[in-house]
Amino acid sequence: SQQGEEDPQALSIQEGENATMNCSYKTSINNLQWYRQNSGRGLVHLILIRSNEREKHSGRLRVTLDTSKKSSSLLITASRAADTASYFCATRGSARQLTFGSGTQLTVLP
Amino acid sequence: DGGITQSPKYLFRKEGQNVTLSCEQNLNHDAMYWYRQDPGQGLRLIYYSQIVNDFQKGDIAEGYSVSREKKESFPLTVTSAQKNPTAFYLCASSMRGVGETQYFGPGTRLLVL
């Protein structure tokens, strides 16, 4: 079963705009991770946020975590055409495995 | 050049045939994983291994088998019992164990003839 669910399923924006993707999950977690996948390729790890953290930054990425609402958001600022990809959240719970959501397909138009 | 390699990039399977997908890593990671991805979907865990000679079933292990004889290698066999094998297969590894940051290979696309 999928723990994380991303919203929206697809997002299309203009270059330079900010992109926000959300992830909701059902059970308590140890950490939540965001990954990126270019079409037909493997996933690339972007950022990990632990359950006792509320916000984390990495370059143009900002991740927030609200454990009371069981949700996380990924913000990509000043988007570029090269940011076009699918973005997945993955949660680690008591089972210790990572469980991936179904992803948000981001398209950044030049 | 460190990383995870998967081969082949494309693989064709005939009815009743077993096929094996290769996954090799030189990152000195203890844990390795196999995922299946269907079009427009997320990843589903097939098998994972935390140490050599040990592996655990994931959510969709039926019709698949694995071995972990060496730390660097974690091959996946798709058996004839897997009735719907057409998918994109991804191998990953992590340093400490399950639940930590995972590093992915480029994937193998399996198609049925």
The CATH number linked to A91 is: 2.60.40.10
Task: Output the pLDDT for position A95.
Answer: 64
Residue B27, chain A, CB below 8 Å: the answer is: no
Host domain of residue A21 = 5-109
Q: What's the number of CA atoms in the CB half-sphere (13 Å) around residue A21?
A: 30
Computed over every residue of chain B, the mean pLDDT equals 92
Q: How close does chain A come to B37, measured CA to CA in Å?
A: 10
Given a cut of 80, is residue B111 above it in pLDDT?
A: yes
Computed over every residue of chain A, the mean pLDDT equals 93
Q: Which residues of A touch B4 (CB under 8 A)?
A: 42
Residue of A nearest to B6 (CA): A42
Residue B90, chain A, CB below 8 Å: the answer is: yes
Q: What's A26's DSSP letter? A: S
Q: How close does chain A come to B18, measured CA to CA in Å?
A: 24
Task: Output the pLDDT for position A1.
Answer: 45
Rounded Cα distance, B34 and A87, in Å: 19
Rounded to 5°, angle at Cα B40 from B34 and B44: 25
Averaged pLDDT, B88-113: 88
Task: Output the pLDDT for position B98.
Answer: 55
Q: Count of CB contacts below 8 A, A vs B?
A: 58
How many domains does one find in chain A? Answer: 1
Q: Each residue of A26-50: pLDDT tens digit?
A: 988 989 999 999 999 999 999 999 9
Task: Output the pLDDT for position A5.
Answer: 83
